[in-house]
Amino acid sequence: MSRIIMGIETSCDETGVGLARLSGDATEPRVELLADDVASSVELHARYGGVVPEVASRAHLEAMAPTARRALATAGLSLSDVDAIAVTAGPGLAGSLLVGVAAAKAYAAALDVPLYGVNHLAGHVAVDTLEHGPLPRPCLALLVSGGHTQLLRVDDVASKITELGSTVDDAAGEAYDKVARIVGLPYPGGPPIDKAAKEGDPEAIAFPRGMTGPRDAPFDFSFSGLKTAVARWIEAAERHGEPIPVNDVCASFQEAVADVLTMKAVAAAREYGIRTMVISGGVAANSRLSALARERCEAAGIELRVPRPRLCTDNGAMIAALGAHVVAADLPTSPLDFSATPALPVSTVTVR
C-alpha cells in the first residue's frame, strides 16, 4: 500500500512544500516525488546582503498556505489524501522554523495524521534518493550550503547519521556571499562568483587552504581566513593603484574552496572505507566543486552522487523524502507539543 507524505521546509528564506509517494517496505522503501513547490524570499534580503530573520519569518507566513495549495494542485491531490506530515524542526532560524512547525501541527491535527519533526541536514542527504534511488549503507555525505559545511557518515538516513567534521567558522556558502560583496557582485554570491570564475584563472592568486596543516582536525573546515585573505589581497592591489581582476579573484577563491572540500571528503571516505559519496546543499550546484569532486572520486574509486540543482537548495521535496524514510522505518511520531530547535544536531534525525 502506498502512502502520501507531505514535507514542509521553512528553515531559512525558502518556503517549501513537497509531496512524495512511499511504497515498498522498510528494507527497500521506494519514494516517488509528486510535487515540489518553493516560494523564495531571497529578493527581499538582497538589499541587506544577507538573510534578515524577521523578514524571512513574515515571508513564510504569507507564503505557507499558497505554497501548499500549489504543491497539492501539481500532484493532483487534496489535503485529505495526505497520510503523514514531516516538517523541518531544525537547525535553522528560530522564527522561520516556528512558522513551518506551526503549520505542520495544524495540518496534522486537522487531518488526524502522524506528524514527524525532522532534521533539515538529514533532509539534504535523503533528497538524493529521489534522484538516484536508495542510499548504500554506509555512505559519506558532504553537505555544503550557506549555513552549513559538514562531512557526515550516513549508516541509515532515517536514524543514524554521525558528524565526522564541520566548519569551525564560516560555512562555504557564507564565504561566497562575503567574497561576492567584497568584489562588488550581487547576493547570493554563489552563482555570480561561479559565472565570473569561468572567465578567470584559478591559479592566478595563491589563496590559502584553511585547516590543511598536520596539526589541524582532519575533517573540519575553516573559510573565514580565506575570506580575509581575499579582502587583504584586494586592499593591497587598490593601495598600489592596480585594477582588480575580478574574474581571476573569483576563480582563485573558488578553487581554494573546492580544493579543500573535495580533498577532505575523499580523505574521509578513504579513512572510513566508504565507497559512495553524496554532495548536497546549495553549493553542490557549483560547477567547479562538482567537476573536481568527480575527478577526485573517480581517481579514488568512489561513486559520486549529486542531486540535480533544484533538489540541492532548500525545498520541501527533501523533507518529504526524509519523512518517507522515517515512515517506512516505522519510527515514533513527534508529539504535537514539540518545539523548533534552531541548533538541532544532525545526529537527531527525528524529534520525539
**Residue 186, preceding peptide bond in cis (omega within 30° of 0):** no
State pLDDT tens for residues 281-333. 989 989 999 999 999 999 999 999 999 999 999 999 999 999 999 999 999 99
* Total-model pTM: 0.95
Cβ atoms 117, 128 nearer than 8 A: no
Instruction: Please report the sign of the dihedral spanned by the C-alpha atoms of residue 323, residue 326, residue 327, residue 332.
Output: negative
Mean pLDDT of the residues in the chain: 95
Query: Which residues are CB-contacts of 95 (< 8 A; sequence separation ≥ 6)?
Result: 53, 54, 56, 57
- pLDDT for 335 beyond 80: yes
Instruction: Give the whole-angstrom CA distance, residue 253 versus residue 257.
Output: 6
Q: Alpha-carbon distance 278 to 228, whole Å? A: 29
| Chain segment 49-99, per-residue pLDDT in tens | 888 989 999 999 999 999 999 999 999 999 999 999 999 999 999 999 999
For the chain, domains (ranges, CATH) are: 3-127+315-351 (3.30.420.40), 139-308 (3.30.420.40)
How confident is the model at residue 333, as a pLDDT? 98
- Could you write out the three-class secondary structure of 29-62? EEEEEEEEEEEECHHHHHCCCCCCHHHHHHHHHH
- What does the pLDDT read at residue 1? 75
Whole-angstrom distance, CA of residue 7 vs CA of residue 143:
20
Pair 309, 6: CB distance under 8 Å: no
Identify the pLDDT of residue 351: 97
- Per the CB < 8 A criterion, the answer to whether 19 and 72 are in contact is yes
Among 229, 252, 143, CA closest to 178: 229
Rounded-to-integer distance, Cα 255 and Cα 292, Å = 9
Angle at 266 between CA 253 and CA 197, to 5 degrees: 20
Give me 247's grid cell.
574574474
Residue 122 cell numbers, joined? 538529514
Predicted confidence (pLDDT) at residue 273 exceeds the cutoff of 90:
yes
Confidence of residue 215 (pLDDT cuts 50, 70, 90): confident
Task: Using alpha carbons, list the distances in angstroms from residue 286 to 175, 191, 212, 260.
Answer: 14, 7, 22, 14
- Residue 285 per-residue DSSP state: G
Q: 173 is written with which cell numbers?
A: 556558502
Instruction: Give the pLDDT of residue 50.
Output: 81
Instruction: Report CA-CA distances (Å) from 219 to 25, 89, 122, 164, 244.
Output: 35, 26, 19, 6, 33
Predicted local confidence at residue 29, as pLDDT: 86
The whole-number average pLDDT for the span 114-139 is: 96
Residue written as cell 524570499? 41
Tell me which residue of 220, 163, 111, 91 sits closest to 101, measured CA to CA. Answer: 91
303, containing H or E segment: strand 303-305
